Structure 1
Amino acid sequence: MTIWMPELRGRSGPKYQAIVDAIADAVAQGDLTPGTKLPPQRNLAYDLGVTLGTVTRAYQELERSGMARGEVGRGTFITAPAGRVERTAAPTPSLSENIDALRSSVDMVPSPYNSLYGTDFMGSEGLELASNYPLTQGVGALTQRAVERINHEAVWDAVSRYQAHNGLRPHLEAGAQWLSGLGVESKPSDILIAPGGQAATQIALMALAQPGDLIVAEALSWPGITVTAAPLGLRVEGLAMDEDGLIPDAFEQACRDRAPRLLYLLPTLQNPTTSIMPETRRRQIAEIARKYGVFIIEDDVYGFLLGQVPTPVHCLAPDITVYVTSLSKAVSPGLRVGYLIVPHGRMASFVGALRSSTLMASPITVEIASEMIRGGEADEMMDMQRREVESRQQELMRRLGHLNPRTHPRSLHAWMPVPAGFTGPEFRTRLLERGVSVTPGKAFVMDDRHRPDHPHVRICLGAEHDRQRLDRALAIIAEVATANSAQPTTYI
């Protein structure tokens, strides 16, 4: 692979055209010859400090002019010999081109989870199965429809001010309507609106725990809980789990021996294992928590996918359980709206935590979200995701069923054992070399004492909205998995 890098200093015009011009000059000077592979788009964007959309447009222009060609799974290669490059004037980008560039640049937004999930490097094809993104097909039209109904000066005036306490009454009522659809009945006065699910979890930690307190969770759980807890001075410890989730005896032992302040729990479509905790066990967990004075944060961001949801832990123990969900997974990641149902008598501490962290959820965003709930657009998005997830799960099992992934027909992700012959890092590296990113299992390990006996990876089905790209990624995983038939070694 070439180590050539375009020099953009001193070049005028749009950045994408500066990249095209730099490559054209290098071809004309003989620095880049036919057959030379250009840097992967993501790598080049990072090195130049531009968006992925800028590099994508530059490479498209190179292909249009005949200067380069792109090959799926391999990359982009110079084709035109020196002296035969056609130079073109940079046109003014149209509105549609600007929108396309905006869409394609989203992948370049830095994330604190990149190193945690092991997605810093992507192959040239960039098939994204590491991030647990929801499906958003059609959300633009539905959002526009909702906004048109509330597009009045009086509405925007009302939501353009600082909000008192835990939000506007109509927003809380819409939140109660949404929660009711998830099987959770709540008074608007018991609801707090946060700017997303992660912020909601942070608020719960701030309201209920003090620096030095212990938070317990399932041995494999959402990595964000450690990222969120650490700046607050909170310790996180994993507890033993089985195919049904957290083991009650392990939880009770921890309560007796280490006096945790909080239990963070993902009982429905657990991340990463996709397990659904039976109601009997939910009752056991709730009883143990009440016995030892432990609060529960019930994270239910995936429960909407099921339709018929198991009884939430909150409904079994509302006095000690903080129920957390959000619209980011169910409707749109752009709607940073999370809902907390706060135990009775503790709203003041939660409002204080909200005020001292993010001050408030954006009232403008919450108004749009509330109108989508009232008008049915949120339900339409939820129904679309359920149908599409089922279809994608069928494709997953068709391609990878022989590799025994643990999953659920309504899950956005699957938990797959690393195939025989690979360590965890080896398998992920081979996939990255083919342009496919998956999440390494070690990202979800809360406590080294409870590492799985065998390495796993999480495969996410929502980030690649194009079905052909998803199918291609799953096919590559199947191909790589069959490349080695020896037995696996240790878990890393």
Structure 2
Amino acid sequence: MQDEDLPLWLPRLAAQGGPRFLQIADAIQTAVADGSLNPGDRLPPQRRLAAQLDVDLTTITRAYDEARRRHLLEGRGARGTYVAAPKVELTSILDLSMNTPPPPDGVDFDDMLKQGLSQVLMRTDAELLMTYHLGGGSNSDRKAGAQWLEPMFGDLEPEQVVVCPGAQAAIAALILALTQPGDVILAEPTSYPGLRVATTQLGRRIIAVEADKHGMIPQMLSQACLQHKPGLIYLNPTLQNPTAITIPQRRRKELASIAKRGNVRIIEDDPYWLLADAPPPPIAAFAPEQVVYVSTLSKCLTPGLRVAFVLIRNPHERERFLAALRSFALMTTPLTAALATLWILDGSAARLMEGIRKEASLRHWMARDILAGRYSGAGDGLHVWLELPGYWNSSQLARAADREGIAITPAEAFATDNRSDSGSVNAIRISLGSIKDRERLQAGLQRLSQLLARRPESFSATASYLP
């Protein structure tokens, strides 16, 4: 292939530049932005461009589909593919603050939802879907939960699984069931904000244990157990929220061993395990009786299901947990629980999750490209933990980003313990799934990158940011 054979707007494809179809789509977007391509221009036929670039036709088809998804191109039947007129954007805020799964490419979620609900209504008495149910889930729901957890643990007895209305409710009920007022809960210095909320509301105390690039440090946990006699240890070991750290297997074993020696229960909150590339076995695999394992569908499928599965092997603790859960959340909504069960048992959940994994991976490629040297992610999961240059602090940047129409979450939103040094962390969490369209996500990341490159102004206004 000769350079002169290529359209002027299309550079050569880079071997290390990420998926080729994304490189081509990005080149189209750049050409539209700089005027090399204008509305109404006709693009080369797909077969011709595939031959010029020496790639297969599928790559070009995916590139054109991606460009259409970004509202850059429009098909005109037999006449070919043309640059589309610019789309008027009415939504000003680019939300990079909320950790939700991205819409999967190639999966019609609307159709999947309609079909699923139709199947649930056909197979289930409507009265049963609109009445009270015993907490913990039906036999079918628990069977689905056991199947959902099979990649982590292999075969499980369904009665060991409790179905809950979301991970936050599960964590609060576990704190209520397994600790007493005034008890200490140990956690990493930066962690899921919902833990701090539940701990404070229930009259317990949270104390931070030092962590490094591999997660909570075993020696520090051992010292903290001796000093504070904790009621619980909380860990989010896979693609941790917010740092995106995955605790390696050896350290997981060490943490489990310390908890066993001290007879301290661990809450293993593990929403991202199924989204991670080759994650280590859960901590619960090394200390089955010591660890309660929580897996929510909110981060792998969709928050609207409000379904989480809790693996709790001790039958007495399971009953205490159910009693605590009933005190504020009598049951999971039967309709959404039935839909989740149907999707898991018929394979729809696995297909949806695989689509979300692929979409998340593409979005990480985008973030890696735009944020360049600042990106430190692993290429999987839903978020990136971005350490900031010294001339920005995270709160200041969050306020400045807000003025630019971008929502981000500063490090202090994740601080677990005011007495720790967690407030000194100078970073932000960027969520890659909360913006539906890749084009708008790209615009948000580019705007943020430009903001990071500028020196901050002085801001006197204060603001509050939610996780």
**TM-score, L = length of structure 2:** 0.75
- Counterparts in 2 of 1:150 and 1:429: CA distance versus 1, 3 Å: closer
**CA distance in structure 1 between the aligned counterparts of 2:349 and 2:124, rounded to whole angstroms:** 23
Q: Is the 8 A contact 2:96 2:431 kept in 1?
A: yes
Kindly state the Cα deviation for residue 160 of structure 1 after the two structures are TM-superposed: 3.1
Q: Is the 8 A contact 2:137 2:164 kept in 1?
A: no
Q: Is the 8 A contact 1:417 1:456 kept in 2?
A: yes
CA deviation digits over 1:343-398, x for unaligned, max 9? 32222101101211101111221111100111111111110111011100011011
* Structure 2 partner of 1:162: 132
The residue correspondences of 1:310-459 to structure 2 (distance < 5 A) are 310-345=280-315, 346-403=317-374, 405-448=375-418, 449-451=420-422, 453-459=424-430
CA deviation digits over 1:196-234, x for unaligned, max 9? 111111111111111111111011101110111111111
| Helix, strand or coil at the partner of 1:367 | helix
* Structure 2 partner of 1:49: none
Q: Is the 8 A contact 2:364 2:379 kept in 1?
A: yes
**CA distance in structure 2 between the aligned counterparts of 1:331 and 1:432, rounded to whole angstroms:** 28
- Counterparts in 2 of 1:481 and 1:154: CA distance versus 1, 3 Å: closer
CA deviation digits over 1:154-173, x for unaligned, max 9? 43333333223522111111
Query: What letter matches 1:411 in structure 2?
Result: G
Select the residue among 227, 243, 253 that pairs with 1:273: 243
Question: Is 1:221 aligned to residue 188 of structure 2?
Answer: no
Query: What letter matches 1:146 in structure 2?
Result: G
CA deviation digits over 1:111-164, x for unaligned, max 9? xxxxxxxxxxxx972010011111234322212222222322743333333223
CA deviation digits over 1:11-67, x for unaligned, max 9? xxxxxxxxxxxxxxxxxxxxxxxxxxxxxxxxxxxxxxxxxxxxxxxxxxxxxxxxx
Question: Is 1:136 aligned to residue 81 of structure 2?
Answer: no
| Helix, strand or coil at the partner of 2:305 | coil
| Helix, strand or coil at the partner of 1:430 | helix
Kindly state the Cα deviation for residue 485 of structure 1 after the two structures are TM-superposed: 9.4
**CA distance in structure 2 between the aligned counterparts of 1:485 and 1:434, rounded to whole angstroms:** 13
| Helix, strand or coil at the partner of 1:207 | helix
Q: Is the 8 A contact 1:428 1:438 kept in 2?
A: yes
| Helix, strand or coil at the partner of 1:334 | helix
**CA distance in structure 2 between the aligned counterparts of 1:140 and 1:307, rounded to whole angstroms:** 27
Aligned-pair identity in percent equals 33
Kindly state the Cα deviation for residue 307 of structure 1 after the two structures are TM-superposed: 5.2
**CA distance in structure 1 between the aligned counterparts of 2:456 and 2:138, rounded to whole angstroms:** 60
Q: Is the 8 A contact 1:267 1:277 kept in 2?
A: yes
| Helix, strand or coil at the partner of 1:210 | coil
- Counterparts in 2 of 1:453 and 1:350: CA distance versus 1, 3 Å: closer
Kindly state the Cα deviation for residue 467 of structure 1 after the two structures are TM-superposed: 0.8
**CA distance in structure 2 between the aligned counterparts of 1:447 and 1:355, rounded to whole angstroms:** 29
When structure 1 is superposed on structure 2, of 141-150 and 380-389 the one drifting more is: 141-150
Query: What letter matches 1:132 in structure 2?
Result: N
* Structure 2 partner of 1:22: none
**CA distance in structure 1 between the aligned counterparts of 2:194 and 2:91, rounded to whole angstroms:** 28
**CA distance in structure 1 between the aligned counterparts of 2:91 and 2:354, rounded to whole angstroms:** 34
Question: Is 1:203 aligned to residue 173 of structure 2?
Answer: yes
**CA distance in structure 2 between the aligned counterparts of 1:247 and 1:356, rounded to whole angstroms:** 35
When structure 1 is superposed on structure 2, of 253-262 and 341-350 the one drifting more is: 341-350
Question: Is 1:148 aligned to residue 115 of structure 2?
Answer: no
Q: Is the 8 A contact 2:135 2:332 kept in 1?
A: no
Structure 2: state its 5+ residue gaps.
1-89, 458-467
* Structure 2 partner of 1:107: none
Structure 1: state its 5+ residue gaps.
1-122, 487-492
* Structure 2 partner of 1:193: 163
**TM-score, L = length of structure 1:** 0.71
Q: Is the 8 A contact 2:95 2:434 kept in 1?
A: yes
Kindly state the Cα deviation for residue 450 of structure 1 after the two structures are TM-superposed: 2.5
CA deviation digits over 1:60-113, x for unaligned, max 9? xxxxxxxxxxxxxxxxxxxxxxxxxxxxxxxxxxxxxxxxxxxxxxxxxxxxxx
**CA distance in structure 2 between the aligned counterparts of 1:153 and 1:179, rounded to whole angstroms:** 25
Question: Is 1:309 aligned to residue 276 of structure 2?
Answer: no
**CA distance in structure 2 between the aligned counterparts of 1:299 and 1:184, rounded to whole angstroms:** 18
Query: What letter matches 1:134 in structure 2?
Result: P
| Helix, strand or coil at the partner of 2:336 | helix
- Counterparts in 2 of 1:304 and 1:146: CA distance versus 1, 3 Å: same
Q: How many residues align?
A: 364
When structure 1 is superposed on structure 2, of 424-433 and 377-386 the one drifting more is: 424-433
Q: Is the 8 A contact 2:152 2:281 kept in 1?
A: no
**CA distance in structure 1 between the aligned counterparts of 2:389 and 2:244, rounded to whole angstroms:** 19
**CA distance in structure 2 between the aligned counterparts of 1:184 and 1:326, rounded to whole angstroms:** 18
Q: Is the 8 A contact 1:166 1:193 kept in 2?
A: yes
Query: What letter matches 2:99 in structure 1?
Result: N
**CA distance in structure 2 between the aligned counterparts of 1:414 and 1:191, rounded to whole angstroms:** 31
- Counterparts in 2 of 1:485 and 1:213: CA distance versus 1, 3 Å: closer
Kindly state the Cα deviation for residue 333 of structure 1 after the two structures are TM-superposed: 1.0
**CA distance in structure 1 between the aligned counterparts of 2:341 and 2:249, rounded to whole angstroms:** 31
| Helix, strand or coil at the partner of 2:125 | helix
CA deviation digits over 1:225-256, x for unaligned, max 9? 01111111111111100011000011110000
Q: Is the 8 A contact 1:143 1:377 kept in 2?
A: no
Q: Is the 8 A contact 1:218 1:241 kept in 2?
A: yes
* Structure 2 partner of 1:126: 93
Q: Is the 8 A contact 2:192 2:241 kept in 1?
A: yes
Query: What letter matches 1:174 in structure 2?
Result: A
Q: Is the 8 A contact 1:194 1:200 kept in 2?
A: yes
